[in-house]
Amino acid sequence: MIGSKHNRIHSYSRLPRSPQYQKSAQKAGRQPSVSWQSLLHRSGDVIFATCVGLICAVPPCYMQTDFQMPAEAAEFKMAQAVLPLTPRAVNPLTLDLTDDLLESDRLNLLQAIDNSLQYIRTPSAERRYPVAGISRDLVERSLVRFRRLVQVSRTAKDLQQAVSREFDLYQSVGRDGSGSVQFTGYYEAVYKASRTKTEEFKYPLYRLPADFGEWRSPHPTRAMLEGSKQLAGLEVAWLSDRFQAFLVHVQGSARLELPDGKLLTVGYAGKTDQPYRSVGAELVRDGKMRLEDVTLQTLIEYFQKNPQDLVTYLNRNPSFVFFRETNGKPATGSLGQAVSAERSIATDKKIFPSGGLALIKTEVPFENPQTGKLELRQIQRFVLDQDTGGAIRGAGRVDIFMGTGDRAKQRAGLIKGDGQLYYLVLKK
């Protein structure tokens, strides 16, 4: 995933005991002081490495960690997840903070809008609406009008003022009922690979078996599949690193550089019905790492220092993902449309408007021109809701697609902050 983390990173070990959580827990009749250690044992899958990069562009594929309480996630799935902004609430469109990317990526934003419009006009979109009282027609008209405003607005401030005049805002209730949303980042990975097995490249990615629809449930586990010859002949590509191959399973897609310089792109084709178990959560459960220290980079470093543990922990995740060649197609989200760097987000599509126009307020990493280091900065940015993920559940989780390659990976891996999520629709 993508993301940025920065001068100040939220301590996840404190999240369950926030004032908002205390309040919502008391209302629900729950004990508010639940430790993360006990939560790990109860949920079984509280985290993966934050931002393990996944092309959330993968529908049923699992993504990164769900940091919210499982009980809260279930609670807000059942409740209305987005509500009209109340008159007493602060309207973010009236703040001085404006879209920081508009001047540099206006064309990228327009393309992202077009991708949402393409989706919203499909029969699939018709089946998903209305959401929270918002109709598909209203979302389409909102996208068309917003597109025009992006074209004619000279500055980010002009755009924000125009949107403030013409659009109503709906806010996510968040994980605590008070609008607090956890943001993470994901990205599309680039790895070296080969179409054939060699001494260097010996860890395969597999195509979906032709008879997969006939497999008896429960499906074989990861350990069973990798320890047998059941998938022999279905290899799409071979990677040089076992953990990288596992990360492609988590990310759901990747761009693979072949020895002859050609590029092979692969995307999600299907997955077994086995549940996903987080490698990071397993390491925390065994006392090998602290919860607050789990990131993609710390996982990589752990397995570099402890290669003997790799197979053991990877096999604790019984789920298994299959791939297909995508012929150079850009990273694609769960709506079947390309996702755009820093303009596409992934949310729970059961409760949020697919393809909808949104506004996010959170922190993402930027490079300090003096030091070259990544530092967090507050942003308020227009985005399109174009993706989802198995662990992106409930009203309190948003994943930001940060792009492709190593820099996107570094930035995505730093995003772990709280913020707010709003949806925008034309005033009626």
Average pLDDT over residues 186-204: 95
Average pLDDT over residues 72-87: 66
Q: Which helix (H) or strand (E) holds 10?
A: none
Does position 62 have pLDDT exceeding 60, yes or no? Answer: no
- Bridge partners of 382, per DSSP, are 359
Does position 420 have pLDDT exceeding 90, yes or no? Answer: yes
Q: Give me the chain's average pLDDT, please.
A: 83
Residues 6+ apart with CB under 8 A from 385: 116, 344, 345, 346, 347, 352, 353, 354, 355, 356, 357, 358, 423
From CA 359, how far away is CA 167, in angstroms rounded? 12
Does position 92 have pLDDT exceeding 80, yes or no? Answer: yes
User: What is the distance, to the nearest Å, from the Cα of residue 197 to the centroid of all Cα atoms in its chain?
Assistant: 31
Give tens-digit pLDDT for 251-276.
788 999 999 999 999 988 899 999 98
Does position 70 have pLDDT exceeding 70, yes or no? Answer: no
Q: In this predicted model, which residue has the larger pLDDT, 51 or 118?
A: 118
Does position 100 have pLDDT exceeding 80, yes or no? Answer: yes
Q: How confident is the model at residue 187 (pLDDT cuts 50, 70, 90)?
A: confident
Does position 227 have pLDDT exceeding 60, yes or no? Answer: yes
* Helix residue ranges per DSSP H, 51-203: 70-78, 102-120, 123-128, 136-152, 156-166
Q: How confident is the model at residue 367 (pLDDT cuts 50, 70, 90)?
A: very high
Residue 7's identity, in one-letter code, is: N
**Predicted model pTM:** 0.74
CA neighbor of 134 nearest in space, from 178, 159, 169: 169
Average the pLDDT over each of 62-76, 101-115, 116-130, 222-236 and give the range with the smallest value: 62-76
The pLDDT value given to residue 391:
64
Whole-number Cα distances in Å, 319 to 35, 246, 250, 342: 27, 11, 10, 29
Does position 97 have pLDDT exceeding 60, yes or no? Answer: yes
Does position 85 have pLDDT exceeding 50, yes or no? Answer: yes
Q: How confident is the model at residue 45 (pLDDT cuts 50, 70, 90)?
A: very low
% of the chain at pLDDT higher than 70:
81
The pLDDT value given to residue 317:
95
Instruction: Name all domains of the chain by residue range, CATH numbers in brackets.
Output: 190-246+259-325 (2.40.240.50)
The pLDDT value given to residue 42:
35
From CA 390, how far away is CA 86, in angstroms rounded? 31
And the tokens for 97? Answer: 């903070």
Residue whose entry in the numeric block shows the structure tokens 């602060």? 90
The pLDDT value given to residue 58:
33
Task: Give the SS3 label for residue 53.
Answer: coil
Average the pLDDT over each of 76-80, 186-190, 208-212, 224-228 and give the range with the smallest value: 76-80
The pLDDT value given to residue 31:
38
Q: In this predicted model, which residue has the larger pLDDT, 223 or 12?
A: 223
Q: How confident is the model at residue 278 (pLDDT cuts 50, 70, 90)?
A: confident
Does position 28 have pLDDT exceeding 50, yes or no? Answer: no
Average pLDDT over residues 281-286: 95
Contact 65, 46 (CB under 8 A): yes
Does position 71 have pLDDT exceeding 60, yes or no? Answer: no
Average pLDDT over residues 375-397: 90
The CA angle 117-121-127, to the nearest 5 degrees, is: 125
Q: How confident is the model at residue 36 (pLDDT cuts 50, 70, 90)?
A: very low
Does position 52 have pLDDT exceeding 50, yes or no? Answer: no
Does position 201 have pLDDT exceeding 70, yes or no? Answer: yes
